[in-house]
Protein backbone atom coordinates (compact mmCIF):
# COMPACT_ATOMS: atom_id res chain seq x y z
CA UNK A 1 0.00 0.00 0.00
CA UNK A 2 1.31 3.44 -0.92
CA UNK A 3 1.32 5.71 2.14
CA UNK A 4 -1.52 8.22 1.96
CA UNK A 5 -0.35 11.73 1.23
CA UNK A 6 -0.36 14.19 4.09
CA UNK A 7 0.15 17.91 4.07
CA UNK A 8 -1.67 18.19 0.75
CA UNK A 9 -2.74 21.59 -0.47
CA UNK A 10 -6.00 20.04 -1.65
CA UNK A 11 -8.93 20.87 0.63
CA UNK A 12 -10.45 17.62 1.88
CA UNK A 13 -13.83 16.87 0.38
CA UNK A 14 -16.58 16.26 2.88
CA UNK A 15 -18.56 13.07 2.57
CA UNK A 16 -21.01 13.81 -0.22
CA UNK A 17 -24.58 12.77 -0.87
CA UNK A 18 -24.83 9.75 -3.14
CA UNK A 19 -27.34 11.61 -5.30
CA UNK A 20 -24.64 13.95 -6.58
CA UNK A 21 -22.36 11.05 -7.51
CA UNK A 22 -25.17 9.29 -9.37
CA UNK A 23 -26.26 12.49 -11.15
CA UNK A 24 -22.70 12.99 -12.38
CA UNK A 25 -22.46 9.33 -13.39
CA UNK A 26 -25.65 9.67 -15.42
CA UNK A 27 -24.20 12.72 -17.20
CA UNK A 28 -21.03 10.79 -17.96
CA UNK A 29 -22.76 7.52 -18.83
CA UNK A 30 -20.89 5.37 -16.30
CA UNK A 31 -21.62 3.34 -13.18
CA UNK A 32 -20.20 3.69 -9.67
CA UNK A 33 -19.18 0.71 -7.59
CA UNK A 34 -20.59 0.55 -4.07
CA UNK A 35 -18.15 -1.49 -2.00
CA UNK A 36 -18.94 -2.93 1.42
CA UNK A 37 -16.65 -2.19 4.32
CA UNK A 38 -16.26 -3.81 7.75
CA UNK A 39 -12.80 -2.79 8.92
CA UNK A 40 -9.80 -0.54 8.35
CA UNK A 41 -8.02 -2.72 5.80
CA UNK A 42 -11.08 -2.89 3.58
CA UNK A 43 -11.56 0.88 3.65
CA UNK A 44 -7.89 1.42 2.89
CA UNK A 45 -8.15 -0.95 -0.07
CA UNK A 46 -11.17 0.92 -1.43
CA UNK A 47 -9.60 4.35 -1.04
CA UNK A 48 -6.27 3.27 -2.53
CA UNK A 49 -8.11 1.82 -5.52
CA UNK A 50 -10.06 5.07 -5.89
CA UNK A 51 -6.81 7.06 -5.88
CA UNK A 52 -5.13 4.64 -8.28
CA UNK A 53 -7.99 4.98 -10.78
CA UNK A 54 -9.03 8.57 -9.92
CA UNK A 55 -12.57 7.42 -9.17
CA UNK A 56 -15.48 8.71 -7.13
CA UNK A 57 -16.68 5.95 -4.84
CA UNK A 58 -19.55 4.76 -2.66
CA UNK A 59 -18.53 3.06 0.58
CA UNK A 60 -21.38 1.14 2.14
CA UNK A 61 -21.97 -0.56 5.47
CA UNK A 62 -24.65 -3.12 6.26
CA UNK A 63 -26.34 -3.40 9.63
CA UNK A 64 -24.02 -6.30 10.32
CA UNK A 65 -20.99 -4.17 9.49
CA UNK A 66 -22.17 -1.35 11.75
CA UNK A 67 -22.59 -3.82 14.59
CA UNK A 68 -19.21 -5.47 13.95
CA UNK A 69 -17.23 -2.25 13.54
CA UNK A 70 -19.27 0.03 15.82
CA UNK A 71 -20.57 3.26 14.32
CA UNK A 72 -18.04 5.47 16.07
CA UNK A 73 -15.09 3.48 14.77
CA UNK A 74 -16.63 3.48 11.30
CA UNK A 75 -17.25 7.22 11.24
CA UNK A 76 -13.74 7.89 12.54
CA UNK A 77 -12.31 5.72 9.76
CA UNK A 78 -14.37 7.61 7.18
CA UNK A 79 -13.09 10.89 8.60
CA UNK A 80 -9.55 9.66 8.08
CA UNK A 81 -10.43 8.60 4.53
CA UNK A 82 -11.65 12.02 3.45
CA UNK A 83 -8.67 13.68 5.16
CA UNK A 84 -6.03 11.41 3.64
CA UNK A 85 -7.63 11.13 0.19
CA UNK A 86 -8.80 14.74 -0.29
CA UNK A 87 -9.25 14.45 -4.05
CA UNK A 88 -11.76 11.57 -3.92
CA UNK A 89 -15.53 12.23 -3.71
CA UNK A 90 -16.93 9.66 -1.25
CA UNK A 91 -20.47 8.85 -0.18
CA UNK A 92 -21.11 6.73 2.93
CA UNK A 93 -24.19 4.57 2.39
CA UNK A 94 -26.32 2.45 4.71
CA UNK A 95 -26.87 -0.83 2.87
CA UNK A 96 -30.21 -2.62 3.34
CA UNK A 97 -31.74 -0.61 6.15
CA UNK A 98 -34.54 -2.75 7.58
CA UNK A 99 -36.52 0.00 9.30
CA UNK A 100 -36.80 3.79 9.41
CA UNK A 101 -35.02 3.73 12.76
CA UNK A 102 -31.99 2.02 11.21
CA UNK A 103 -31.82 4.71 8.52
CA UNK A 104 -32.40 7.55 10.95
CA UNK A 105 -29.58 6.34 13.21
CA UNK A 106 -27.24 6.10 10.21
CA UNK A 107 -28.04 9.69 9.23
CA UNK A 108 -27.46 10.86 12.80
CA UNK A 109 -24.05 9.16 12.78
CA UNK A 110 -23.00 10.92 9.57
CA UNK A 111 -24.02 8.64 6.70
CA UNK A 112 -24.78 10.67 3.57
CA UNK A 113 -27.01 8.08 1.93
CA UNK A 114 -29.32 5.33 3.14
CA UNK A 115 -31.16 2.40 1.64
CA UNK A 116 -34.60 1.75 3.05
CA UNK A 117 -35.23 -1.83 1.99
CA UNK A 118 -38.91 -2.14 2.77
CA UNK A 119 -39.37 -4.69 0.03
CA UNK A 120 -38.94 -6.85 3.14
CA UNK A 121 -40.51 -6.42 6.56
CA UNK A 122 -38.34 -5.23 9.44
CA UNK A 123 -37.11 -8.78 10.07
CA UNK A 124 -35.15 -8.45 6.83
CA UNK A 125 -36.54 -11.77 5.60
CA UNK A 126 -40.28 -11.60 4.96
CA UNK A 127 -41.44 -10.01 1.67
CA UNK A 128 -43.72 -7.01 2.24
CA UNK A 129 -46.58 -5.69 0.13
CA UNK A 130 -46.46 -2.71 -2.20
CA UNK A 131 -48.31 -0.24 0.03
CA UNK A 132 -46.07 -1.02 3.01
CA UNK A 133 -43.01 -0.52 0.82
CA UNK A 134 -44.21 2.85 -0.45
CA UNK A 135 -45.26 4.16 2.97
CA UNK A 136 -42.11 3.17 4.85
CA UNK A 137 -39.77 4.30 2.08
CA UNK A 138 -41.58 7.64 1.84
CA UNK A 139 -41.16 8.17 5.59
CA UNK A 140 -37.41 7.78 5.26
CA UNK A 141 -37.26 10.00 2.16
CA UNK A 142 -38.96 12.87 3.97
CA UNK A 143 -36.58 12.60 6.93
CA UNK A 144 -33.43 12.17 4.82
CA UNK A 145 -34.09 14.83 2.18
CA UNK A 146 -34.75 17.40 4.88
CA UNK A 147 -31.12 16.79 5.89
CA UNK A 148 -29.64 16.63 2.39
CA UNK A 149 -29.20 12.85 2.51
CA UNK A 150 -29.97 10.54 -0.44
CA UNK A 151 -32.30 7.54 -0.34
CA UNK A 152 -32.28 4.26 -2.25
CA UNK A 153 -35.37 2.05 -2.29
CA UNK A 154 -36.01 -1.44 -3.58
CA UNK A 155 -38.89 -3.01 -5.49
CA UNK A 156 -38.91 -6.78 -5.81
CA UNK A 157 -36.63 -9.14 -3.89
CA UNK A 158 -33.30 -10.81 -4.57
CA UNK A 159 -32.40 -14.41 -3.97
CA UNK A 160 -29.85 -15.55 -1.43
CA UNK A 161 -29.11 -14.32 2.08
CA UNK A 162 -26.13 -12.23 3.16
CA UNK A 163 -25.46 -10.61 6.53
CA UNK A 164 -28.82 -12.01 7.62
CA UNK A 165 -30.66 -10.04 4.92
CA UNK A 166 -32.84 -11.70 2.31
CA UNK A 167 -35.96 -13.79 1.93
CA UNK A 168 -34.23 -16.41 -0.17
CA UNK A 169 -36.95 -15.79 -2.77
CA UNK A 170 -36.72 -13.98 -6.10
CA UNK A 171 -39.53 -11.58 -7.03
CA UNK A 172 -38.63 -9.67 -10.19
CA UNK A 173 -39.35 -5.95 -10.40
CA UNK A 174 -42.46 -5.03 -12.42
CA UNK A 175 -41.59 -2.09 -14.73
CA UNK A 176 -45.05 -0.51 -14.54
CA UNK A 177 -45.19 -0.83 -10.77
CA UNK A 178 -41.72 0.71 -10.61
CA UNK A 179 -43.05 3.96 -12.07
CA UNK A 180 -45.69 4.27 -9.35
CA UNK A 181 -43.20 3.33 -6.65
CA UNK A 182 -40.69 6.00 -7.66
CA UNK A 183 -43.36 8.68 -8.03
CA UNK A 184 -44.99 7.98 -4.67
CA UNK A 185 -41.85 7.34 -2.63
CA UNK A 186 -39.63 10.16 -3.97
CA UNK A 187 -36.46 8.05 -3.89
CA UNK A 188 -33.18 9.04 -5.52
CA UNK A 189 -32.27 5.54 -6.69
CA UNK A 190 -34.17 2.32 -7.33
CA UNK A 191 -32.71 -1.12 -6.64
CA UNK A 192 -34.22 -3.55 -9.11
CA UNK A 193 -34.60 -7.33 -8.83
CA UNK A 194 -33.54 -9.00 -12.07
CA UNK A 195 -32.61 -12.47 -10.84
CA UNK A 196 -29.36 -11.71 -8.99
CA UNK A 197 -28.71 -13.05 -5.49
CA UNK A 198 -26.73 -12.09 -2.44
CA UNK A 199 -23.70 -14.17 -1.50
CA UNK A 200 -21.29 -16.29 -3.52
CA UNK A 201 -23.71 -18.97 -4.69
CA UNK A 202 -25.73 -17.00 -7.23
CA UNK A 203 -25.95 -19.41 -10.17
CA UNK A 204 -25.09 -23.09 -10.64
CA UNK A 205 -24.02 -22.46 -14.23
CA UNK A 206 -23.22 -19.42 -16.37
CA UNK A 207 -26.40 -17.30 -16.23
CA UNK A 208 -28.60 -17.01 -19.30
CA UNK A 209 -31.37 -14.55 -20.08
CA UNK A 210 -33.82 -16.95 -18.47
CA UNK A 211 -32.32 -16.47 -15.00
CA UNK A 212 -30.66 -13.05 -15.29
CA UNK A 213 -33.23 -10.67 -16.74
CA UNK A 214 -31.04 -7.80 -17.95
CA UNK A 215 -33.86 -6.91 -20.35
CA UNK A 216 -35.89 -5.82 -17.31
CA UNK A 217 -33.38 -3.04 -16.70
CA UNK A 218 -33.94 -1.77 -20.23
CA UNK A 219 -37.72 -1.89 -19.78
CA UNK A 220 -37.57 -0.02 -16.47
CA UNK A 221 -35.12 2.55 -17.83
CA UNK A 222 -37.47 3.29 -20.76
CA UNK A 223 -40.25 4.09 -18.28
CA UNK A 224 -38.00 5.89 -15.77
CA UNK A 225 -35.20 7.50 -17.80
CA UNK A 226 -34.36 10.03 -15.06
CA UNK A 227 -34.23 7.50 -12.20
CA UNK A 228 -30.88 6.05 -11.14
CA UNK A 229 -31.04 2.24 -11.13
CA UNK A 230 -29.10 -0.01 -8.75
CA UNK A 231 -27.87 -3.57 -9.22
CA UNK A 232 -27.53 -5.57 -6.02
CA UNK A 233 -25.85 -8.95 -5.78
CA UNK A 234 -23.48 -7.96 -8.59
CA UNK A 235 -20.28 -9.71 -7.65
CA UNK A 236 -18.86 -11.70 -10.54
CA UNK A 237 -17.36 -14.48 -8.35
CA UNK A 238 -14.30 -14.99 -10.59
CA UNK A 239 -13.11 -18.59 -10.76
CA UNK A 240 -9.53 -17.50 -10.17
CA UNK A 241 -10.45 -16.02 -6.77
CA UNK A 242 -12.30 -19.20 -5.79
CA UNK A 243 -9.35 -21.31 -6.95
CA UNK A 244 -6.93 -19.36 -4.74
CA UNK A 245 -9.07 -20.16 -1.69
CA UNK A 246 -9.50 -23.82 -2.56
CA UNK A 247 -5.79 -24.34 -3.25
CA UNK A 248 -5.05 -23.32 0.33
CA UNK A 249 -7.55 -25.55 2.09
CA UNK A 250 -10.81 -23.78 1.28
CA UNK A 251 -13.98 -25.49 0.16
CA UNK A 252 -15.92 -23.16 -2.13
CA UNK A 253 -18.05 -25.29 -4.43
CA UNK A 254 -18.49 -24.42 -8.12
CA UNK A 255 -20.50 -21.22 -8.55
CA UNK A 256 -21.04 -18.41 -11.03
CA UNK A 257 -21.71 -14.73 -10.46
CA UNK A 258 -22.91 -11.86 -12.64
CA UNK A 259 -20.67 -11.45 -15.71
CA UNK A 260 -19.10 -8.00 -15.98
CA UNK A 261 -20.37 -7.69 -19.55
CA UNK A 262 -23.94 -7.99 -18.25
CA UNK A 263 -23.28 -5.29 -15.66
CA UNK A 264 -21.87 -3.07 -18.39
CA UNK A 265 -25.02 -3.64 -20.43
CA UNK A 266 -27.03 -2.55 -17.40
CA UNK A 267 -24.90 0.59 -17.07
CA UNK A 268 -25.71 1.46 -20.66
CA UNK A 269 -29.40 1.36 -19.67
CA UNK A 270 -29.49 3.47 -16.53
CA UNK A 271 -27.67 1.47 -13.83
CA UNK A 272 -25.59 3.97 -11.89
CA UNK A 273 -24.80 2.08 -8.65
CA UNK A 274 -23.37 -1.44 -8.65
CA UNK A 275 -23.06 -3.30 -5.34
CA UNK A 276 -19.97 -5.49 -4.93
CA UNK A 277 -19.16 -7.39 -1.75
CA UNK A 278 -18.58 -11.12 -2.30
CA UNK A 279 -15.69 -10.56 -4.73
CA UNK A 280 -13.93 -8.49 -2.07
CA UNK A 281 -14.40 -11.18 0.56
CA UNK A 282 -13.08 -13.83 -1.80
CA UNK A 283 -9.99 -11.78 -2.64
CA UNK A 284 -9.12 -11.09 1.00
CA UNK A 285 -9.81 -14.64 2.17
CA UNK A 286 -7.72 -16.12 -0.62
CA UNK A 287 -4.79 -13.87 0.20
CA UNK A 288 -4.96 -14.68 3.91
CA UNK A 289 -5.25 -18.44 3.31
CA UNK A 290 -2.31 -18.34 0.92
CA UNK A 291 -0.14 -16.31 3.29
CA UNK A 292 -0.77 -18.63 6.21
CA UNK A 293 -0.28 -21.75 4.10
CA UNK A 294 3.05 -20.43 2.82
CA UNK A 295 4.23 -19.35 6.28
CA UNK A 296 2.62 -21.62 8.91
CA UNK A 297 4.73 -20.07 11.69
CA UNK A 298 3.48 -16.53 10.94
CA UNK A 299 1.46 -14.90 13.71
CA UNK A 300 1.74 -11.19 12.92
CA UNK A 301 -1.68 -10.10 11.58
CA UNK A 302 -0.04 -7.28 9.65
CA UNK A 303 1.77 -9.72 7.38
CA UNK A 304 -1.36 -11.43 6.07
CA UNK A 305 -3.73 -8.46 6.36
CA UNK A 306 -1.41 -6.40 4.18
CA UNK A 307 -1.63 -9.07 1.48
CA UNK A 308 -5.39 -9.21 1.92
CA UNK A 309 -5.63 -5.44 1.54
CA UNK A 310 -3.54 -5.52 -1.64
CA UNK A 311 -5.66 -8.33 -3.13
CA UNK A 312 -8.88 -6.45 -2.41
CA UNK A 313 -7.49 -3.21 -3.84
CA UNK A 314 -6.74 -4.97 -7.12
CA UNK A 315 -10.34 -6.21 -7.43
CA UNK A 316 -11.83 -2.82 -6.54
CA UNK A 317 -9.59 -1.00 -9.03
CA UNK A 318 -10.51 -3.48 -11.76
CA UNK A 319 -14.24 -2.99 -11.12
CA UNK A 320 -13.83 0.80 -11.13
CA UNK A 321 -12.29 0.62 -14.57
CA UNK A 322 -14.89 -1.84 -15.82
CA UNK A 323 -17.80 0.27 -14.54
CA UNK A 324 -16.40 3.38 -16.23
CA UNK A 325 -15.94 5.54 -13.13
CA UNK A 326 -12.15 5.69 -13.46
CA UNK A 327 -10.86 9.15 -14.26
CA UNK A 328 -13.95 11.01 -13.03
CA UNK A 329 -12.94 11.94 -9.47
CA UNK A 330 -12.07 15.53 -10.36
CA UNK A 331 -14.94 16.25 -12.73
CA UNK A 332 -16.97 18.38 -10.33
CA UNK A 333 -17.10 20.27 -7.06
CA UNK A 334 -18.80 18.41 -4.21
CA UNK A 335 -21.99 19.84 -2.75
CA UNK A 336 -22.46 20.01 0.99
CA UNK A 337 -25.45 18.37 2.61
CA UNK A 338 -26.82 21.87 3.28
CA UNK A 339 -26.70 22.55 -0.46
CA UNK A 340 -28.36 19.21 -1.16
CA UNK A 341 -31.05 20.07 1.37
CA UNK A 342 -31.87 23.20 -0.61
CA UNK A 343 -31.88 21.19 -3.84
CA UNK A 344 -34.38 18.73 -2.40
CA UNK A 345 -36.53 21.54 -1.01
**Which listed residue (23, 95, 163, 188) is catalytic?**
95
DSSP tag of 329: T
Q: Is residue 139 in a domain? A: yes
| pLDDT at 11 (0 to 100) | 52
Query: How many domains are there within the chain?
Result: 1
Q: Please state, in angstroms and rounded to a whole number, the distance separating the CA atoms of residues 190 and 263.
A: 16
Residue 131, Cβ density class (10 Å: 0-12 exposed, 13-18 middle, ≥19 buried): exposed
Any bridge partners for residue 151, and if so which? 114
The pLDDT tens digits along the chain (345 residues) read 644 444 444 555 679 999 999 999 999 999 999 999 999 999 999 999 999 999 999 999 999 999 999 999 999 999 999 999 999 999 999 999 999 999 999 999 999 999 999 999 999 889 999 999 999 999 999 999 999 999 999 998 876 545 555 445 678 999 999 999 999 999 999 999 998 877 787 887 888 777 788 899 999 999 999 999 999 988 999 999 999 999 999 999 999 999 999 999 999 999 999 999 999 999 999 999 999 999 999 999 999 999 999 999 999 999 999 999 999 999 999 999 999 999 999
Tell me the torsion sign for CA atoms 44, 199, 97, 136: positive
Q: Residue 116: name the closest of 186, 174, 217 by CA.
A: 186
| pLDDT at 8 (0 to 100) | 45
71-84 and 100-109 are packed helices; what angle lies between their axes, rounded to 10 degrees? Answer: 50
176 is catalytic: no
Q: Are 290 and 244 in contact (CB under 8 A)?
A: yes
| pLDDT at 111 (0 to 100) | 97
| pLDDT at 264 (0 to 100) | 97
| pLDDT at 165 (0 to 100) | 54
Domain extent at residue 164: 18-339
The CATH number assigned to the domain holding 24 equals 3.20.20.70
Q: Is residue 70 in a domain? A: yes
Q: Is residue 69 in a domain? A: yes
- Give the C-alpha distances (Å, rounded to integers) separating 219 from 14, 29, 182, 209, 213: 36, 18, 15, 14, 10
Query: Which ranges of 156-300 does DSSP label H, i.e. alpha helix?
Result: 175-185, 214-223, 239-247, 260-267, 278-294
Q: CA geometry: angle at 330 spanning 267 and 87, to 5°?
A: 115
Q: Are 41 and 304 in contact (CB under 8 A)?
A: no
| pLDDT at 23 (0 to 100) | 98
| pLDDT at 211 (0 to 100) | 76
Q: Is residue 11 in a domain? A: no
| pLDDT at 7 (0 to 100) | 43
Q: Is residue 4 in a domain? A: no
| pLDDT at 202 (0 to 100) | 80
Q: Is residue 52 in a domain? A: yes
| pLDDT at 209 (0 to 100) | 73
| pLDDT at 206 (0 to 100) | 83
Amino acid sequence: MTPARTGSSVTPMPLVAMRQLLDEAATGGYGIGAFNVNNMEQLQAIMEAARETESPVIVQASRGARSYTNDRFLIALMGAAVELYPEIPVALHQDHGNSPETCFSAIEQGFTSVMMDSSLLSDGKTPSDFEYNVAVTREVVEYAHARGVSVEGELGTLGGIEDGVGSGEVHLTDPDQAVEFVERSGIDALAVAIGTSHGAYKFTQPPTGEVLAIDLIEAIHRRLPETHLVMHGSSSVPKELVDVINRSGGDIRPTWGVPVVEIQQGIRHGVRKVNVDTDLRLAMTGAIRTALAESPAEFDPRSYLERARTAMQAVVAERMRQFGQAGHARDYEPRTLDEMQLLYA
